[in-house]
Structure 1
Amino acid sequence: MTDARTFPEDFLWGGATAANQIEGAYDEGGKGLSTSDFARYKPEVSDGADNFTFEVTGADLDAADAGRLEGVFPKRWGIDFYHRYKEDIALFAEMGFTTFRMSISWPRIYPTGLETEPNEEGLAFYDKVFDELLAHGIQPVVTLSHYEMPIELTRRYNGWLSRECLEPYVKFARTVFERYRDKVRYWITFNEMNMNLTSVYTGAGVVMDRTDRPEREVAYQATHHQFLGSALAVRAGKEILPPDARIGTMINRIEVYPATPRPEDVLQALREDQANLFYTDVQVRGSYPGSMLRYFADHGLNVEMAEGDDEILAEGTVDYIGISYYMSHMTADRPGAQEDVGLLVGAMKNPHLEQTPWGWPVDPVGLRISLNRLWDRYQVPVFIVENGLGAIDTLEDDDTVHDDYRIAYVHDHLVQVREAIADGVAVMGYASWGPIDLISCGTSQMSKRYGYIYVDQDNYGRGSGRRIRKDSFSWYRDVIASRGAALDGPEPTPLGR
């Protein structure tokens, strides 16, 4: 009989990152510029709660073409994983990782996306990374498109607003499937496709001031093209990869609670949940749900679909669902509520939940609810490929970082994962975001830290780059080594106390 305190023997333990937030070396190894290379750090915006620095304008791209674009672009230097990957992977292995989620930078393989032949230097870099991971017994989980694409596809086609991005993306997917078929078992086609409603530039490379279509229509049109890209990539993967390879989708999962039992509030929560699950509905079930088709009609959104698209979606369904989980939402039927439908950050705050310094509600039980809901709805395995706490960490004079708040956050969420597994949910693994400090996706900060490993670097890229183990490093190592039994030790100090 399995010990109820422990996780399954084949459960995958590790951490998650993205190329654009860790690699750096934006102008080395033949790499082309990506959409993420234009994300700025803006102290007046980045350092405040609920503020994001996603957007890039057409004027920004024109200025870049003319050599006049100014600003601080931290994703161009990342944390120098490009040169320090062996050191970082050794630290992951010391923690006992059995998996590491990462992404392949599309413009490192095809610098503009339009080349006939891939960049061999870029391919060779990932060969070395995968070889290093496998030598330490760590299975890579690889995202094909994680908030970056060649900037040339934005300049030429306005990103995924155009079907013209399908051919370059599928070519990229086929190239890496063929190259790494014997090194990578787990793949994800797109990261958090539901980001498109929050920032269609970040998620799909679309510059809004270069289209006259409504923003929501643009977001869903770009999403439709990404659905097709994902399905075509799945089809290619089934042809190229070994039979035991698995290709998944991935969404930012938001559990939505009604503010009251008033039926109108419950209905609003249902609508928001349907909008969040829309992405997995299409990619797991292979067709658009009626709820979203009605939403398009009710709001006058003209999402153009070509003959044959339905067949492509039906034939390209995924093997598993990857989720990021950071928070839940609360909602109510109120003026403007329809504008919140599908967004990743809710307007209402739940009075029963504490918040992170960036205003994100902390809700471990919501993760258990989400895992159950996804399993009940789809009956395919779920992989938690992001979950973590962004916080301001203090490096003490003796090179220690006391991050009990992070230990408490991860502890409480893992307890709920264990409960979900006991509920009968097939959970593949847990890869916390990010196991090492990295550049924030939303704010381009370094000071918003997630890792078990401190990186001596500030928001402007200054510092030694030294890697320093935080208190959470040894704690997570012990949890992995005990297959979760260590979660039943002394309870950590809750967040905010």
Structure 2
Amino acid sequence: MTNQQFPENFLWGGATAANQLEGAYQTDGKGLSTSDLLLGGDVNTPRKTTRELVPDAFYPSHEAIDHFHRFKEDIALFAEMGFKLYRFSIAWTRIFPTGLETEPNEAGLAFYDQIIAELKRYNIEPLITISHFESPIGLTKAFNGWAARDMIAAYVRFAKVIINRYHQDVKYWLTFNEINMLTRPMGAYLAGGMYVDDSDRFISPDVDSEQLRLQALHHQFVASALVTKFAHELDASLKIGCMLAYRMLYPLTSKPTDIALVQTATEFNNFYCGDVQVKGRYAYFAKRYWRDHDIQLDISADDETILAAGTVDFYTFSYYQSSTMTTTGEGKQAGGNFFSGVKNPYLDRSDWGWEIDPRGLRTALNQIP
């Protein structure tokens, strides 16, 4: 057996999100994001959002682990762990507090100046996620989140500011974190907490509109392509990537309808977004899905040109677990909710009920087209 090793320049590292670790949610002029209105929860208590801040409620992002004030010691620990790369996100509302401003918040930019300088001290390569599930609440209220085309210009303005600011020190960028989450009911919240029919509720899995979610996703594709093209024109050395949440899917039985269900779910959840961002166009199965689910998206000829011209340089994904699916009994999937799977008899589960499947990662790496 050949003794295989990772190449010398392989980038071992780790990843965080601003809303998961920074805290200091109102420091230096930072505005409210969707994550700042997301309540805490646990394995038995689903997390929920509120439209306004509720006194004495627990919002994890408000303090988190206080990385905002402790980033130097945190980055020193990263170096001690042998990190060669660190992926982090820039909080949109540190730079544009409501998302509607025309000029950026210098205090917010200065904070990330310090982060990047500290990483350079330890020779850790930065990889920045431009948008990691924290749209400004100001844009949610003004535009109904990414359901509105107006979000494209606001995002592009934000992205151009930070790419212009940091491109000499940051060569790797991701436009959106786990963009394919918008194919799932919870994606409506991740798309900026879209409102329904002027109600006070955010869209949630029980108040869902697949039409709105997929339109929001299309707007993110266009925004990603515009920013990718801008970055390439600004600095040819920049590498812009996409990022998805990949999940291996297995049929519970060899019943043909179970096999067909897994095929459709794999296409929709794992390949739908990657095809657009890597190949610059929607795949045949995307159009079939729209037809089968009576979805009519607003996609202009200009949008198609933008998508074709703004393809990414590299593909990334997260992998947490696999899911097992069936079309019969209690495991029957409904309404496109492909991940309400049944227990796989061959896999153990974590305390959170997630299947533990390292072999699935290897299969996924070979499955990605």
If the TM-score is normalised by the length of the shorter chain, which range does it land in? Answer: over 0.9
In structure 2, do the counterparts of structure 1 residues 240 and 303 end up closer, same or farther at CA, with 3 Å as the change threshold? same
1:135 aligns with 2:121: yes
Contact 1:31 1:109 survives alignment (8 Å): yes
1:178 aligns with 2:160: no
Correspondence for 2:35: 36
Contact 1:275 1:342 survives alignment (8 Å): no
- Cα deviation for residue 214 of structure 1 reads 5.7
Q: Which runs of 4+ in 1 moved over 6 A?
A: none
Higher relative contact order (CA 8 A, sep 6+): 1
Count of residue correspondences? 359
Corresponding residue SS for 2:128 = strand
1:288 aligns with 2:282: yes
Correspondence for 2:267: 274
Give the counterpart of 2:210 among 207, 216, 223: 216
- Cα deviation for residue 135 of structure 1 reads 1.1
Contact 2:221 2:307 survives alignment (8 Å): yes
1:262 aligns with 2:221: no
Task: Write the mapping of 1:170-209 to structure 2, written as runs, cut at 5 A.
Answer: 170-196=156-182, 197-209=184-196
Which amino acid is the alignment partner of residue 373 of structure 1?
Q
Task: Tell me how far apart the structure 2 counterparts of residues 116 and 175 of structure 1 sit (CA, whole Å).
Answer: 11
In structure 2, do the counterparts of structure 1 residues 138 and 301 end up closer, same or farther at CA, with 3 Å as the change threshold? same
- Cα deviation for residue 291 of structure 1 reads 1.0
Which amino acid is the alignment partner of residue 283 of structure 2?
P
Task: Tell me how far apart the structure 2 counterparts of residues 17 and 201 of structure 1 sit (CA, whole Å).
Answer: 22
Query: Which string of whole-angstrom CA distances, capped at 9 and with x for unpartnered residues, describes residues 149-181 of structure 1?
Result: 111000111110100001110011111111001
Correspondence for 2:12: 13
Contact 2:188 2:213 survives alignment (8 Å): no
Task: Write the mapping of 1:115-130 to structure 2, written as runs, cut at 5 A.
Answer: 115-130=101-116
Correspondence for 1:387: none
Percent identity (aligned): 43
Task: Tell me how far apart the structure 2 counterparts of residues 52 and 294 of structure 1 sit (CA, whole Å).
Answer: 33
In structure 2, do the counterparts of structure 1 residues 357 and 88 end up closer, same or farther at CA, with 3 Å as the change threshold? same
Task: Tell me how far apart the structure 2 counterparts of residues 331 and 323 of structure 1 sit (CA, whole Å).
Answer: 22
Task: Tell me how far apart the structure 2 counterparts of residues 367 and 239 of structure 1 sit (CA, whole Å).
Answer: 35
What TM-score do the two structures reach when normalised by structure 1? Answer: 0.69
Q: Please, what is the CA RMSD of the aligned residues?
A: 2.0
Correspondence for 1:459: none
In structure 2, do the counterparts of structure 1 residues 121 and 220 end up closer, same or farther at CA, with 3 Å as the change threshold? same
In structure 2, do the counterparts of structure 1 residues 285 and 337 end up closer, same or farther at CA, with 3 Å as the change threshold? farther
Query: Which string of whole-angstrom CA distances, capped at 9 and with x for unpartnered residues, describes residues 45-75 of structure 1?
Result: x242xx531x43xxx42x44xxx55511111
Give the counterpart of 2:151 among 156, 165, 177: 165
* Structure 1, 154-163 or 334-343: larger mean CA deviation: 334-343
Contact 1:13 1:99 survives alignment (8 Å): yes
Task: Write the mapping of 1:49-448 to structure 2, written as runs, cut at 5 A.
Answer: 52-53=46-47, 55-56=48-49, 60-61=50-51, 63-64=52-53, 71-196=57-182, 197-210=184-197, 215-241=209-235, 243-276=236-269, 277-334=271-328, 337=332, 339=334, 341=336, 343=338, 345-374=339-368, 377=369
- Cα deviation for residue 200 of structure 1 reads 3.0
Correspondence for 2:203: none
* Structure 1, 303-312 or 283-292: larger mean CA deviation: 303-312
